[in-house]
Amino acid sequence: MTREARHSGNSNDLPSEDKLSYADAGVDIDAGEAFVEAIKPEISKTERPGVMGAVGGFGALFDLGQTGLKDPVLVSGTDGVGSKLLLAAQAGDYRGLGQDLVAMCTNDILCQGAKPLFFLDYLAAGKLSGARDAELVSGIAAACAAEGAALVGGETAELPGLYAEGHFDLAGFAVGAVERSEILPRYDDLRAGDVLIGLASSGIHSNGFSLVRRLIQDLDLDIDQPAPFDDAQTLRQALLAPTKLYGAQVHRALQTVPGAVKALCHVTGGGLPGNLNRVLRDDLLARVHPARWQAAPIFGWLEALDRVERAELFRTFNMGLGMVLVVDQQQVGPVMASLAGETAVFEIGTLHAHQSSPNSAQVQIAGVTA
């Protein structure tokens, strides 16, 4: 397992005869190494069969033979949290960002039918902050444990001059595995009449925050006041609701009703129109009906602001659905039953035959794009 504290400083204009230390350039090696030591207990909580070695090596080892898979195919994914980090940094509230990071990666590889095996993260900042950085890694570790992924390493980079004071960035990398015979999507099995099942999102998740921040700025909103749609939390808290982890819920359906789920779609940047089309053959289109699901209240608030066209909202945000399953129409009942529990489940639409033309949309949203 590997975890490195990397330091890259910029030199100050000091006389040539002065002897400089790395600390003089704005980089604290001791603090970085202390941070790595401090987070080892959190990392150890994510250990799983297959992990080889302890934290501190140059690379992380994983024994694929320990997965129990007969013909495994590795699936990888990488992502970040984006400008949601800025809203969190303003309030010093970093609790959900670790889950955001893990979910953005593991939900992606879930769409191939994979279970995550291990995870690595990259944390870069102008100045390391023990409390903030420990909270971030603790959140990453907790989400990894929930998904069954080992946090096998990462990079903690202190980069003065590259990041402004208080600014930082997070990126993650997940590797999972799936039996070759169970890889999704199964394009050849998709048929007109297949049913679309949506899993509710917790809110905006981790996409569209550049537009959110522009709305906050233009409307001069105080996001630390109670949310217009929920007096029990501030608007900032609603915006920072962490991205849902869908692994346990979806894999339960895959195992309970084998072969019923033909494709999975993680609804991220681009919304339904920009993601559902990625799992469809050219001769099929999806018709989706927003009236069939109950979105988190924050999306009603965004619409009520009347500053963004509805079609653009659906092209930017998940609009209440974080994951969509394409299911055999004969197996909808059993799949819906197996999905019940962690988050709300909705039957949102169907697949139809599609004759492709330059101006035809492959994802039609009732009342929005069709």
User: Residue 118: which pLDDT band, with cuts at 50, 70 and 90?
Assistant: very high
* Dist. CA 347–CA 128, nearest whole Å: 46
* Dist. CA 318–CA 273, nearest whole Å: 10
| Residue 16 pLDDT > 80 | no
- Domains detected in the chain: 2-182 (3.30.1330.10), 187-365 (3.90.650.10)
**Is the omega angle on the peptide bond into residue 15 within 30 degrees of 0, that is, cis?**
no
Tokens of 205: 């998740």
- So what's the pLDDT on residue 318? 97
User: Residue 11: which pLDDT band, with cuts at 50, 70 and 90?
Assistant: very low
DSSP string, 111-134: TTTPEEEEEEEEEEESS--HHHHH
At 251-276, the pLDDT tens digits run 999 999 999 999 999 999 999 999 99
Percent of the chain with pLDDT over 70: 92
- So what's the pLDDT on residue 13? 53
Q: Nearest 10 degrees: CA dihedral of 336, 325, 183, 150? A: -80
- So what's the pLDDT on residue 7? 55
DSSP string, 191-224: -TTPEEEEEE-SSSTTS-HHHHHHHHHHTT--TT
What three-state secondary structure class fits 325? strand
| Residue 166 pLDDT > 70 | yes
| Residue 57 pLDDT > 90 | no
Tokens of 263: 């494709």
Residue matched to tokens 């949102």: 348
At 305-361, the pLDDT tens digits run 999 999 999 999 999 999 999 999 999 999 999 999 889 999 999 999 988 766 678
Average pLDDT, the chain: 91
* Dist. CA 273–CA 97, nearest whole Å: 26
Distance of CA 200 to the CA centre of its chain: 14
| Residue 277 pLDDT > 90 | yes
Sheet holding 150-158, edge to edge: 2-7, 150-158, 115-125, 168-179, 72-80
Of 138, 120, 129, 144, the residue nearest 57 (C-alpha) = 120
| Residue 100 pLDDT > 80 | yes
* 204 in Cβ contact with 318 (< 8 Å): yes
Beta bridge partners of 121: 154, 172
- So what's the pLDDT on residue 368? 93
Of 362, 11, 339, the residue nearest 161 (C-alpha) = 11
Q: Give the least confident one: 40-54, 108-122, 287-301.
A: 40-54
At 172-208, the pLDDT tens digits run 999 999 999 999 999 999 999 999 999 999 999 999 9
Of 173, 317, 335, 357, the residue nearest 254 (C-alpha) = 335
Q: For the chain, state the CA radius of gyration.
A: 22
* Dist. CA 275–CA 49, nearest whole Å: 33
List CB contacts of 143: < 8 A, sequence separation 6 or more. Answer: 98, 99, 101, 102, 103, 245
pTM for the full predicted model: 0.91
* Dist. CA 254–CA 326, nearest whole Å: 12
